Structure 1
Amino acid sequence: MARIDPRKVYDLSVDYFIGMPGWHAAGDPRYQIWMTHTPNGTKVDDPLGVGDRQNDHVSYTGTAFSMYSHTGTHIDALNHFGLNGKIWNNFDAKTHLGDRGWTKTGAETIPPIVARGLLLDIPAAKGLDMLPDGYRITKADIQATLIHQNVQLELGDVVLIRTGRMKEFSQAEKYMQNSPGLGIEAARYLVEEGGAMVLGADNLSFEAFPSEVEGNYVPVHTYLLAQQGAFILELVNLEELAADRIYEFAFIGASLKLKGADGSPMRPIAFPIHPTAPAR
């Protein structure tokens, strides 16, 4: 934090709106928002019993919303996917999952994240605005992008991968269809050789489909969450960072403390690291 340039802050989250992209293939609910109180409705109903005069003087607006926990910019908790009946740290659903959520690794256990952030703009390194549909990012792509941007991986990084897909975010169907994403070899390289603590991307699926591992339809998710204990960020808005070529920054983000949940909305921000500031 001592190295940041505070003159500009980058908001890495997306807007929430009816019709926004979401993971609905498995039947999860779409984002909805509705009014619970409006100035005119409050005057008609007088729910607080204060009378016409006060309702004319004091307007009252209230809203409610509902959504799947993996809607919009969010973080996957370590219980989101498991392998062979076990999630991270060998916790199992029979013992640790109740009707009110997980008693282990729930979203409330995710600490605030303050770390060095690193943007890997994969399409820019290839001379593209956006990766092609279904493109699977490889280890070689990661290495070429590091060279192109003249940056290095460091232990404990939050590595954010731009596919360019965020350009289609306002068009939900186009954004969701056959997204590019990370391959398992690239994920292993970033965590095991690069020392990344958290991986994220600007798409919703994070990894590319169909799976490259027989018998596992989400191998990147299970590798990171269940085997490595590395959190995943999805729907991270990286367009402004990429436009300004901000590749190294202070990442600050915290999720909602949703007890027992398998994921949570997050509003991460980034402060550029001043190029002349000494490392500490």
Structure 2
Amino acid sequence: MTMQPLFRALSAFLLLVSALPAAMAEGRQPGVSPWGPDDEIGRLNLMTDESRANVLSRILGGKSYDLSVEYYIGMPSWQAAGDPHYRIWMTHTPEGTVIDDPMNLGVTMNQHVSYTGAAVSMYTHMGTHIDALNHFGLDGKIWNGFAAKDYAGDRGWRVAGIENFPPIIARGVLIDVAASKGKRMLPDGYRISRSDIEEALRQQQIKLQTGDVVLLRTGRMQDYDNAKAYMRNPPGLSYHAAKFLVETAGAMIVGADNLSLEAFPSELESDYVPVHTYLLAEQGAPIIELVNLEELSSDQVYEFAFIGSPLKLRGADAAPLRPTAFPLR
């Protein structure tokens, strides 16, 4: 075979590969855990007794920051795939208990002891929440190769459910992308790049460390009480910036103040949520969404102890989270 046909064949092959969706060209598949075949929490294994003690020992004291949002009827939520709205209803009211007397206590007792109770119904990915590693997968498998056909039952996953997540105690870092650009809020659909992140960190004089909880501020939280505005084509993290945060900077968790973390439409033809599948399925990095970063931004607190735990919903793919930030020395 002469060299010319070989070069032609090689050129044709490279052209074909370049035309493939990026995910296919990269051979994307669920990651295999370096923490062993039974690992269900991925990069949360980066937390150690030493790392927790270190960050707790550096807490400045004084002011703390609640990074969660309120739940209310009409709140922003993902409904495009048919998931339920948030609902709250009263199961007991003081007046109703007097009339119904559900525990046969009599009018006098029910008038004396007022009884109020409520129930809620909601999607697991509502309000400030953290995604478990079973939330998204690739080709029927999630992080560490667990297959849906083997482990996903009608009552949730038998592995990698949110109940396995330990309390999160780690160094948190705010990357205030909106402020670094001198903007109240990033534009609709804006895709945060690696250079955006590096520039914000340079302005903040902060360096990322392995095991950080990295939280990106787009400014979208300012529209939280206006669900239509909040949900409209939000800015978010790019695929390659997500790779930078985990593979180069060593992030343990990546989060943001928007609902989707990533921006749309997708950068990859083969995957409609490439940032989610990359972080959760390939890297075992949990995602936190709807984080309220406005007060941290206002006070220019960029480094803090991040402390929070999700509800232990057995087999669930996510759960509400109420994280608190404590500035560090």
TM-score, length of structure 1 as denominator length: 0.97
User: How do residues 118-137 of structure 1 correspond to structure 2 at under 5 angstroms?
Assistant: 118-137=173-192
Cα deviation for residue 214 of structure 1 reads 1.3
Cα deviation for residue 84 of structure 1 reads 1.3
User: How do residues 166-245 of structure 1 correspond to structure 2 at under 5 angstroms?
Assistant: 166-245=221-300
User: How do residues 21-100 of structure 1 correspond to structure 2 at under 5 angstroms?
Assistant: 21-100=76-155
Cα deviation for residue 222 of structure 1 reads 0.1
Residue 270 (structure 1) aligns with: 325
SS of the equivalent of 1:146 reads helix
Cα deviation for residue 10 of structure 1 reads 0.2
More helix by share: 2
Residue 202 (structure 2) aligns with: 147
Decide which of 129, 147, 162 is 1:107's aligned counterpart: 162
Counterpart amino acid of residue 130 in structure 1: M
Q: Which runs of 5+ in 1 are unaligned?
A: 275-280
Counterpart amino acid of residue 210 in structure 1: P
Counterpart amino acid of residue 42 in structure 1: T
Q: State the distance in 2 between where 1:129 and 1:150 align.
A: 21
SS of the equivalent of 1:224 reads helix
Counterpart amino acid of residue 145 in structure 1: A
Q: State the distance in 2 between where 1:139 and 1:10 align.
A: 27
SS of the equivalent of 1:117 reads strand
Q: State the distance in 2 between where 1:94 and 1:3 align.
A: 45
Q: State the distance in 2 between where 1:59 and 1:6 align.
A: 39
Aligned residue-pair number: 274
Cα deviation for residue 215 of structure 1 reads 1.1
Q: Say if 2:284 is the partner of 1:261.
A: no
SS of the equivalent of 1:80 reads coil
Cα deviation for residue 3 of structure 1 reads 1.0
Cα deviation for residue 51 of structure 1 reads 0.4
Cα deviation for residue 13 of structure 1 reads 0.2
Q: Percent identity?
A: 64
Residue 13 (structure 1) aligns with: 68
Q: Deviations over 1:132-155 (max 9, x none)?
A: 000000000010011010000001
Q: State the distance in 2 between where 1:148 and 1:188 align.
A: 22
Q: Deviations over 1:48-72 (max 9, x none)?
A: 1110111111000000000000000
Decide which of 218, 231, 248 is 1:163's aligned counterpart: 218
Q: State the distance in 2 between where 1:6 and 1:138 align.
A: 34
Cα deviation for residue 200 of structure 1 reads 0.3
Q: State the distance in 1 between where 2:201 and 2:278 align.
A: 23
Decide which of 281, 302, 306 is 1:247's aligned counterpart: 302
SS of the equivalent of 1:118 reads strand
SS of the equivalent of 1:34 reads strand
Residue 32 (structure 2) aligns with: none
Cα RMSD after superposing both structures: 0.5
Q: State the distance in 2 between where 1:221 and 1:246 align.
A: 27
The structure that has the greater radius of gyration is 2
Q: State the distance in 1 between where 2:61 and 2:79 align.
A: 38
Q: Which runs of 5+ in 2 are unaligned?
A: 1-55
* Runs of 4 or more consecutive aligned structure 1 residues displaced over 6 Å after TM superposition: none
Cα deviation for residue 2 of structure 1 reads 1.0
Cα deviation for residue 6 of structure 1 reads 1.7
Counterpart amino acid of residue 187 in structure 2: P
Counterpart amino acid of residue 181 in structure 1: G
Cα deviation for residue 111 of structure 1 reads 1.2
TM-score, length of structure 2 as denominator length: 0.83
Counterpart amino acid of residue 244 in structure 1: D
Cα deviation for residue 236 of structure 1 reads 0.3
Counterpart amino acid of residue 266 in structure 1: L
